[in-house]
Amino acid sequence: MTSDKLAQLCGNCGAECCRYVTQEIDEPKSHEEIDNVRWFLLHYNVNVYCDTDGDWSVEFKSDCKNLGKHNQCTDYEHRPTMCREHGCDGNCEGTVNHPDELYKHFFSNVEEFDEFLEERYRKKKEKQKRKQEKQKRKEKRKKKEKRNKKEKRKKKSNTKQ
Q: Which residues contact 27 (CB under 8 A, 6 or more apart)?
A: 33, 50, 54, 56
Q: Is residue 104 part of a domain?
A: yes
pLDDT digits (tens, 9 = 90+) for 35-47: 999 999 999 999 9
Q: Is residue 161 part of a domain?
A: no
The residue ranking higher by pLDDT, 47 or 152, is: 47
pLDDT digits (tens, 9 = 90+) for 16-26: 889 999 999 99
Q: Is residue 45 part of a domain?
A: yes
Q: Enumerate the β-bridge partners of residue 23.
A: 58
Task: Decide: pTM greater than 0.75.
Answer: no
pLDDT at 63: 96
Characterize 121-135 residue by residue with b for buried, 16 or more Cβ atoms within 10 angstroms of its Cβ, and e for exposed.
eeeeeeeeeeeeeee
Q: How does residue 147 score in pLDDT terms, banded at 50, 70 and 90? A: confident
> Can you tell me the distance from the alpha carbon of 1 to that of 38, in angstroms, rounded to the nearest whole number?
40
Q: Is residue 73 part of a domain?
A: yes
Q: Is residue 155 part of a domain?
A: no
The residue among 44, 40, 45, 42 whose CA lies nearest residue 58 is 40
Characterize 26-53 residue by residue with b for buried, 16 or more Cβ atoms within 10 angstroms of its Cβ, and e for exposed.
eebeeeeeeebbbebbeeeebbbbbeee
Give the DSSP H or E segment for 4: helix 3-13
Q: Is residue 99 part of a domain?
A: yes
Lowest mean pLDDT, pick from 11-15, 52-56, 73-77, 151-155: 11-15
pLDDT digits (tens, 9 = 90+) for 72-107: 889 989 999 988 888 666 566 666 666 667 899 999
Q: Is the pLDDT of residue 159 over 80?
A: no
Q: Under a CB-based contact definition with an 8 Å cutoff, are residues 41 and 107 in contact? A: yes
Q: Is residue 138 part of a domain?
A: no
Q: What's the number of domains the chain is made of?
A: 1
pLDDT above 70 coverage of the chain, percent: 83
How many residues does this entry show for the chain?
A: 161
Q: Is the pLDDT of residue 135 over 80?
A: yes
pLDDT at 47: 97
Angle at 23 between CA 17 and CA 29, to 5 degrees: 130
Q: Is residue 120 part of a domain?
A: no
* Structural domain containing residue 27: 3-108
Mean pLDDT of 130-155: 86
* Average pLDDT value for the chain: 86
